[in-house]
Chain A
Amino acid sequence: MKKLLVMLLALGLLVPAMAVAEDKAASPKEFVVFSDKNAKDNHYIPSGWMGDYGDIRMNDQSADNPHSGVTSIQFIYSAKKSQGQGWTGVYWQNPANNWGNKKGGFDLTGMTKLTFWARGAKGGEVIQKIMAGGIKGTYPDSVMVEMGPIELTNTWKQYTVNLVGKDLSYVNGAFGWTTTADLNPDGATFYLDDIKFEVDTQLKSEGVKQQAMPFYIYADRSSIANHFIPSGWMGDYGDIKYDGASKEDAYLGDTCIKIIYNGKAAQGARWAGIFWQNPANNWGNLDAGFDLSKTTKLTFWARGEKGGERIEEFKVGGIMGEFSDSDSATIGPVILNKEWTQYTIDLKGKDMSYIIGGFAWSTNIDNNPEGATFYLDEIKFE
Chain B
Amino acid sequence: MTKLSSNKARSKKLKGKGQKIEGRGQKIVFWVFLFSVFCFLPFVLSRCQPTPGVRIQKLPNRHYQLIVNGSFYIIKGVCYNPVAIGSNHEYDWWSDKSKPWIADGKLMKEMGVNTIRLYQAHEDPEEVKQVIRDFYNLYGIRTLMGDWLGFWEYPCPFYGDDKFQSKVKNNVIAMVNLYKDEPGILGWILGNENNYSCLGYVNAWSNEDIDKEPNPQKQKSMRAKIYYSFVNDLSKEIHKIDPLHPVGLGNGELVGLEFANEFCTDVDFVACIIYRGKTFGNLFKSLRMTFDKPVLLAEFGADCYDAYLKREDQDMQAFFLQSQWNQIYENLANNKIGEGNCIGGTSFEWTDEWWKHNSDNPASWSVHDTQNGWSNGSYYFDIRAQCNKNMDEEWFGIVALSEQLENGINKRLPRKAYYVIREFWKHPVLIKTRGKKI
Give me the interface of A with B, judged by CB distance under 8 Å.
Answer: 283-285, 287, 310, 319-327, 331-335, 349-351, 354
Contact = CB atoms under 8 A, between A and B. Distances in A.
Contacts of B216: 310, 332-335
A343 to B, nearest CB: 11
Interface string B18-41: 000000000000000000000000
B282 A319 contact: no
Contacts of B281: 324-327, 351
Interface stretch (B105-113, B118-126, B308-316, B376-384): B376-384
B377 A319 contact: yes
Contacts, number: 57
Given A310-B216, A320-B277, A323-B436, A351 B376 contact: no
A284 B436 contact: no
B422 to A, nearest CB: 27
Contacts of A321: 277, 377-378, 380, 383
B203 interface: no
B436 A351 contact: no
Interface of B: 214-217, 220, 276-277, 279, 281-282, 285-286, 289-290, 376-378, 380, 383, 436-437
Q: Across the A-B interface, give the 9 residue pairs with the lowest CB-CB distance, nearest first.
A: A333-B216, A320-B378, A349-B289, A351-B282, A321-B377, A322-B380, A320-B377, A327-B282, A321-B380
Contact of B286 (A319, A325, A351): A351
State the majority secondary structure of interface residues on A: loop
Q: Tell which of A310, A321, A324 has the most Cβ of chain B within 10 Å.
A: A324
A287 B277 CA distance: 16
A284 B380 contact: yes
Contacts of B276: 320, 324
Contacts of A285: 380, 383
A305 to B, nearest CB: 19
Q: Tell which of B214, B376, B378 has the most Cβ of chain A within 10 Å.
A: B378
Contact of B215 (A284, A326, A335, A350): A335
Given A320-B277, A325-B281, A326-B281, 17 more contacts: A283-B383, A284-B378, A284-B380, A287-B436, A310-B216, A320-B377, A320-B378, A321-B378, A324-B276, A332-B216, A332-B217, A333-B216, A335-B214, A335-B215, A335-B216, A351-B281, A351-B282
Contacts of B378: 284, 320-321, 324
A115 B216 CA distance: 53
A326 to B, nearest CB: 6
B279 A324 contact: yes
A283 B436 CA distance: 15
B286 A284 contact: no
A356 to B, nearest CB: 11
Nearest to B220: A333
Contacts of B277: 320-322, 324
Contacts of B289: 349
Contacts of B286: 327, 349-351
A335 B213 CA distance: 13
B217 A284 contact: no
B436 A349 contact: no
Contacts of B215: 335
Contacts of A332: 216-217
9 contacts: A284-B378, A284-B380, A287-B436, A319-B377, A321-B277, A321-B378, A333-B220, A334-B216, A351-B286
